[in-house]
Amino acid sequence: MKRSAAKVVVNGEPRTWIGVNFWSRVGGPLMWRQYDAAVVESELAVMRDHGMTLTRSFFYWPDFMPTPDALDEVLVERFRTFLDAHHALGMTTIPTFLVGHMSGENWDPAWRGGRDLFSDVWFVARQAWYVRELTARFAHHPAVAGWLLTNEVPIYDDWRGETLGGDKTQRAAEIVSWAQILIDAIRAGGGTQPVSVGEGAWGVEVTGVDNGFRVRELSPLVDFLGPHVYRMETDLVRQHLGPAFVCELLDIDGQPVVLEEFGLTSDYVSEENAAHYYRQVLHTTLLAGATGWITWNNTDYDDLFDQAPYSHHPFEMHFGLTDSEGRPKAQAREVKAFADVVADVDLVRCHRPDTQVALVVSAYLEKQFPFTDPEDPPAVVHATRQASVAAREADLPVGVAREADGLPEDCALYLVPSAKQLTAPTWRHLQQLAEGGATVYCSWFVGTHLNQRGTWWPKLDETFGVRKTTRYGLVDPIVDDEVRVTMTADLGTLRAGEELVFAVAGTASSRSFLPVEPAGAEVLAVDGHGNPVLLRHRVGKGSMVLCTYPFEHMAAMTPAVNPEPTWRLYDALAADAGARPDVRVPGPEVMVGQMEHEDGRRFVWFISQSDVDQSVVPEVDGGRLLDLAHGGSAVDKVELPPYGVKVLRLAR
């Protein structure tokens, strides 16, 4: 299975962008009113010296377009000065037009008059004029690297979330038409650079909630997808890997993925832990296929404490990579170290190696199937995200296989984690894949609610070689606080007699298991009450493996759970299917991933999820690991500080 690592193309050449969202500490969003060229140049120089050669910049809409048919020419010239400063420092920028929304505040042009952003013909025409005119002023400036239509326009359009959920078909059609008109305005203004929307990639394909900004419908119009990721979690490993999972979910249409916004406020975390978070996000999203990173943001704003949005969202003052005096924080040093690695491996010429392991994402995440419950799509996100964590802990280079796109035919292992629903054709396809030699693992899950609470798996008994003993309308609750699973037969790296202990969590519906009796399947593991937990049904050249507990769902609902033993199960399945990676480590605390250069060189990442020093001896099949520095000396043991990262070269 191929996994995307597409690059943004600028002037015919692939690019990896490392940059920062930029507002000057003099003025913040109002910086253009009191533009201080000397301060801006010093701020840009600090970013450049820390590996960030690109900024995302913003036309503050109420100021740049004071009337429906005029630009503020003084501010336009100040923006030109801003571009000149970039060029002088060897930097580029991505201007953002409709701002709009910023850091907890919405600002309308004074003349908007409550008109709808997407469907009011006159208002859309004025937006298009504004975009075309600004593009025409700067399209040929060498400092312009790309264009963004907006900043987080779903919040600007509907900041209270009053229209989330429900059928958004008409709204989605209006949004796509609006985006097409504004992108056409960029092209009419002479802009040939890459363009995207700037909406945060918060569509139903990523969140399970339809806000009208559907990634699939916007994707054909743009040159890259730009997620904004600020999710907060209850588990540290899920927190570290959350942005990477979003990048994996955006493997749609082969589009490049640029992490357009991520970061944190120093008011929430210590500087040491902020550095850990930056390090984790940068490297794990690289391995998830991202081709650009634009952090939020360049500086702190202590002097703007009495100016909105900082006056009412004071934590927004301290997202900076530098403090309000321009001194770099540890986060800035992490970006510099990351930029050095990107240069060392020549990332722009690297791609992700193909994989034999597919993580299946149910089409019920994004498809608008009739008469389904709104709780179902988010449940797909939660379970699949947790499954991706377990797979990474097992060092498996999973590819995200969206059911909506059809499953790949060339994998040895298919993981279907805690899936209440797949379509009937997909169930038939999975059995055909198993008959052809693949291992297909499916864990049972009835959902979190009462609506059609049952198994949406057609012919479950025949498919898995079992006889279910369920009763209509009822579930079989998990009565213990933990599930103790004992292997009764060997499975890959798991041996008969070994015990795995899983956390139990969920609602009155989802905290349940599937009671079955074997009817042709081999029982591989049982729970503490003797109930089958894992069963393998040989079909054709492969096998269907049934897990009768929703382990991924329960782990997703459990705080501070990782590492939990699902990684052992996935590792065993991969070994049984002949799909273990050729470089791995013996525990879950250090994760391994790879990138391959077009010249054949292979680079291996070791990323610690531990708060203490780690020393691991990698298992390498058919090769040896070499240090990138120190003359390429051989490395037998990898030493990592807390949450540390090490990159080595794999020589064959």
Q: Name the stretches of the chain with pLDDT < 70.
A: 159-166
* Per-residue H/E/C for 185-234: HHHHCCCCCCEECCCCCCCHHHHCCCCCCCHHHHHHHCCCECCEECCCCC
Residue 252 and residue 215 in contact, taking contact as beta carbons nearer than 8 Å? yes
Tens-digit pLDDT profile for residues 471-510: 999 999 999 999 999 999 999 999 999 999 999 999 999 9
Pick the closest to residue 356 from 583, 580, 588 (CA basis).
580
Selection from 136, 114, 118, 138 nearest residue 127 by Cα? 118
Which pair of structure tokens corresponds to residue 627?
């240090």
- 403, 252 contact by CB (below 8 A): no
Tokens of 318: 């301290």
Helix axes 271-287, 236-249, angle to 10 degrees: 30
Helices 73-88 and 37-49: crossing angle in degrees, nearest 10, is 40
Whole-number Cα distances in Å, 303 to 27, 63, 105, 106, 330:
9, 21, 18, 21, 21
Structure tokens at 191: 């802009």
- Give me the residues paired with residue 414 across strands: 358, 440
What was the pLDDT predicted at 161?
A: 56
Please state, in angstroms and rounded to a whole number, the distance separating the CA atoms of residues 414 and 436: 13
Question: Which residues, including other chains, have CB under 8 Å from residue 543's CB and lie 6 or more apart?
Answer: 434, 439, 440, 536, 537
In this predicted structure, what is the pLDDT of residue 466? 98
In angstroms, the Cα distances linking 442 to 1, 8, 387, 550 are 19, 36, 12, 9
259 DSSP β-pair partners: 293
Q: How many CA atoms lie within 13 A of 92 on its CB side?
A: 18
3-state secondary structure 8-59: EEECCEEECEEEEECCCCCCHHHCCCCCCHHHHHHHHHHHHHCCCCEEEEEE
